[in-house]
Amino acid sequence: MHSGHRHNRALRNGAGTGVWSVRPNYRVNLKAQQGEAEANYLRLRRLVPRIGLDQPVEVELPASGWIDERSLVEIRVIDQARYTETLALRQLDAIADWLRPLDISVRLYHDLRMAEVIRCQGQRPPWPTPPYRNLHMHHRDEKWQLNAFLGEWLKHCLRYGQVVEPAALGR
């Protein structure tokens, strides 16, 4: 076997020593990923217990820290099937000039009681373990990172946010 085939798995230890070591392969922690998906499902259900196709819910987050104004997040059902539901979570206002408003699509699996990010900022997440070199330079654990980010964001919404009826906002 030609050593060039293993280039992405090998690290050179020390200049000129000729010593190579094998980089450990990334291993998916399925138990942790499933746990995060289950927790995110429960967080979403606590935040928006009932939501319909034509009834978006808005969550108001108060001003805090370096954010001077309140922020509104819209949660809308964009697809429903017997065992799944797809939600769009969109931040309705920019909180900083340099930060794009949040835009995440989440698939809920009601039979499994799990939720996972299926789109973030207009891009699909990579496979659970994309190849090391890929067109978009995704990290090997990027799918895990996106779902963990969703979990942190939902915890923030549950702790500080307030569900607002769209009629109360004058919309």
Q: Where are the domains of the chain?
A: 26-169
What local confidence, expressed as pLDDT, does residue 101 receive? 80
Residue 87 zone, left/alpha/beta (φ > 0; ψ -120 to 50; rest): beta
Neighbour count for residue 49 (Cβ, 10 Å):
9
Q: Average pLDDT, stretch 38-52?
A: 89
pLDDT (tens digit per residue) in 143-153: 878 899 999 99
Does residue 97 or residue 24 have the better pLDDT? 97
Give residue 144's pLDDT: 79
pLDDT grade, residue 14 (50/70/90)?
A: very low
pLDDT tens string 58-86: 888 887 655 567 788 899 999 999 999 99
* pLDDT tier for residue 6 given thresholds of 50, 70 and 90: very low
Percent of the chain at pLDDT above 90? 32
- Determine the pLDDT at residue 10: 44
